[in-house]
């Protein structure tokens, strides 16, 4: 390693490793410091997303969905699968294999791009120096012209529900259960709670109870979409209890008992396992020495401007540790932007078009403004909704629940938001993202030809519905 690098990246999650790769592509001599170790104690890149986040959760969601299909749905297709059974050990091994392949892939990319990957914990010092402490406690100091901080986030813990008891786990623990819990409790009905609840319900948990402090379900989503999601997920056996704040927990033999407040009333519930999924916090404790004078906000997020510059010249911060949604793709795009800025190019992230997805069944996805946000500011808009029950492809798939909704400015027709619930909405949302990124209108989508039969046609129909002319459904929401 050269004494002084062009760039030191702290963190090799989707924000940091992407930043490092783009820096290297742009000819910058790049070092990436990361302290993640796998269950065997070996350093691995990939951060939360690859090791205990996006990838393992989607692996289990996929496997558990196949299980449910084999158990309950193939018969409708005339496919008779008798004696279907669950091999959880194999399912977990598959998940771990996928994680291993992908993290090794990042290590290969580092090598191919001549990125110096330094395992250990990095701390920002003054004057763009970084002290790295390795697992044996040894330290060394590196310096660079530019530093990119990408330390990511950690699960929020509740004082009232300590993880010390073996029955109580965070999202990482919930991805690694070796038995299906009979009665599962989840604190927090956010994205992670719903995805994990879906996995274990599908795999056979007799009850899955989600306790959510807020009175509104998925308040960040479009209200119509959130209501539909709540109805469909409840029908699958997810017992979602809103306005229910967990205040204490205690072990009772091999089980855990919690107490929660619902308005004035206090209730208790007993579970075999309890997942704490109440959000994530920036992993910024001891990231910077006092002498570095790095600015944080009151939640521990690193203070940055629109282009991820911190208060220190040449020091940038990206990903979950800065403002904005805690999403892998948002961090990766910030990583690319910062690398290009360092290389002297013009770059920015379009924060108006960050897609959000909940990988339940059906999937929920959205981008841009919600209908309630537009109403709150008195915006003049038109909405087009197309129910998937009217899609030939959705029916052929046996997935008729859900809808596609597009929102467009009444005067200019510019797309303002898209809200979807249905099969493959994690993919369908990209159509709306691209249209919005290009400054498109509902008319642009209406004039585009889509293959038949496909789910994408429903986006086309929703665009037609904005103008009250959907071809395959009766206009429920006539334009005002
Ligand atoms: P991280 O991925 O957290 O990586 C940060 C890395 O930096 C880690 O390796 C950490 O060990 C290391 N590090 C921290 N501090 C230091 C230091 N001082 N020195 C050295 N190394 C350090 N997002 C999605 O977009 N889609 C999903 O489907 C999705 N599913 C999720 C499911 C679960 C169960 C969870 C928990 C999260 C999920 N997320 C998902 C969120 C996603 O994982 C994060 O948004 C993403 O990982 C953030 O990337 P990052 O690079 O900012 O941080
Ligand atoms: P998210 O931030 O999307 O992962 O969601 C976490 C959810 O946990 C939020 O909706 C919080 O309202 C909820 N939450 C936080 N603390 C508690 C608590 N003590 N009891 C129940 N729900 C909680």
pLDDT at position 479, please? Answer: 45
Q: How far away, in angstroms, is 213 Cα from ligand 2 center?
A: 6
Q: Indicate if 452 belongs to the active site.
A: yes
Q: What is the pTM of this model?
A: 0.97
Low-confidence residues of the chain: pLDDT under 70: 1-3, 475-480
Say what the pLDDT of residue 3 is: 61
Nearest CA to ligand 1 atom 34: 53
What is the pLDDT at residue 1? 45
Looking at 3.40.50.720, 1.10.10.10, 3.40.50.300, 3.30.390.30, the CATH number of the domain 353-466 comes to 3.30.390.30
Indicate whether residue 16 lines ligand 1 (CB < 6 A): yes
**Is 327 a pocket residue for ligand 2 (Cβ < 6 Å)?**
no
The answer, yes or no, to whether any atom of ligand 1 lies below 6 A from the CB of 461, is no
| Dist. CA 241 → ligand 2 center (Å) | 12
Pick the residue whose CA is nearest to atom 27 on ligand 1: 54
Cis preceding-peptide flag for 364 (omega within 30 of 0): no
Atom of ligand 2 nearest to the CA of 158: 19
Instruction: Decide if 294 contacts 312 (C-beta within 8 A).
Output: yes
Residue among 264, 321, 328 nearest 295 (CA): 321
Is the domain 4-155+281-349 a CATH 3.40.190.10 member? no
Residue nearest atom 13 in ligand 2 by C-alpha distance: 188
Domain 4-155+281-349 and domain 168-278 have a common topology: yes
Q: How far is the CA of 165 from the centre of ligand 1 (A)?
A: 25
CB contact at 8 A, 260 and 243: no
**Among 72, 303, 419, 452, the one annotated catalytic:** 452
Nearest CA to ligand 2 atom 16: 278
Tell me, using a 6 A CB cutoff, whether residue 152 lines ligand 1: yes
Contact 116, 30 (CB under 8 A): yes
CA 39 – CA 170 distance, rounded (Å): 16
- Which residues, including other chains, have CB under 8 Å from residue 100's CB and lie 6 or more apart? none
Q: What is the pLDDT of residue 474?
A: 80
Fold observed for domain 168-278: FAD/NAD(P)-binding domain (3.50.50)
Atom of ligand 1 nearest to the CA of 332: 51
Domain limits of the chain?
4-155+281-349, 168-278, 353-466
Give tens-digit pLDDT for 393-452.
Answer: 999 999 999 999 999 999 999 999 999 999 999 999 999 999 999 999 999 999 999 999
């Amino acid at each position: 390693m050269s004494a002084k690098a062009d760039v030191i990246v702290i963190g090799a999650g989707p924000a940091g490793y992407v930043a490092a790769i783009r820096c290297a592509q742009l000819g910058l001599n790049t070092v990436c410091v990361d302290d993640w170790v796998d269950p065997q104690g070996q350093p691995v890149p990939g951060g939360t997303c690859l090791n205990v986040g996006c990838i393992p959760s989607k692996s289990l969601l996929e496997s558990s969905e196949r299980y449910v299909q084999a158990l309950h749905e193939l018969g409708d297709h005339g496919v008779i699968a008798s004696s279907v059974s669950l091999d959880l050990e194999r399912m977990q091994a598959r998940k771990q294999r996928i994680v291993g392949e992908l993290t090794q892939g990042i290590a290969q990319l580092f090598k191919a791009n001549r990125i110096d990957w330094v395992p250990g914990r990095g701390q920002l010092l003054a004057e763009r120096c970084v002290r790295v402490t390795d697992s044996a406690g040894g330290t060394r100091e590196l310096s660079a012209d530019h530093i990119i901080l990408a330390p990511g986030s950690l699960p929020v813990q509740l004082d009232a529900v300590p993880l010390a008891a073996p029955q109580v786990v965070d999202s990482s623990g919930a991805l690694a259960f070796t038995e299906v819990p009979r009665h599962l409790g989840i604190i927090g009905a956010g994205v992670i709670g719903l995805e994990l609840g879906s996995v274990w319900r599908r795999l056979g948990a007799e009850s899955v109870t989600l306790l959510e402090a807020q009175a509104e379900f998925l308040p960040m989503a479009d209200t119509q979409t959130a209501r539909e999601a709540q109805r469909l997920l409840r029908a699958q056996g997810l017992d979602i209890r809103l306005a229910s704040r967990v205040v204490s927990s205690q072990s009772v033999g091999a089980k855990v008992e919690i107490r929660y407040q619902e308005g004035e009333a206090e209730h208790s519930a007993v579970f075999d396992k309890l997942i704490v999924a109440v959000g994530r916090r920036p992993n910024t404790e001891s990231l910077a020495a006092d002498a570095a004078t790095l600015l944080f906000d009151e939640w521990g997020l690193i203070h940055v401007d629109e282009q991820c510059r911190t208060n220190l010249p040449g020091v940038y911060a990206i990903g979950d540790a800065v403002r904005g949604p805690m999403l892998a793709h948002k961090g990766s795009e910030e990583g690319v932007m910062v690398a290009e800025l360092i290389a002297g190019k013009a770059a920015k992230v379009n924060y108006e078009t960050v897609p959000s997805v909940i990988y339940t069944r059906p999937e929920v996805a959205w981008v841009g403004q919600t209908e309630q946000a537009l109403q709150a500011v008195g915006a003049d808009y038109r909405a087009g909704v197309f129910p998937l029950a009217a899609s030939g492809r959705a029916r052929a798939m046996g997935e008729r629940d859900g809808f596609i909704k597009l929102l467009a400015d009444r005067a200019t027709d510019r797309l303002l938001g898209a809200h979807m619930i249905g099969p493959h909405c994690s993919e369908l949302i990209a159509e709306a993202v691209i249209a919005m990124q290009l400054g498109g209108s509902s008319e642009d989508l209406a004039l585009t030809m889509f293959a038949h039969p496909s789910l994408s046609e429903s986006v086309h129909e929703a665009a037609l519905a904005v103008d009250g002319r959907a071809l395959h459904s009766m206009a429920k929401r006539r334009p005002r």
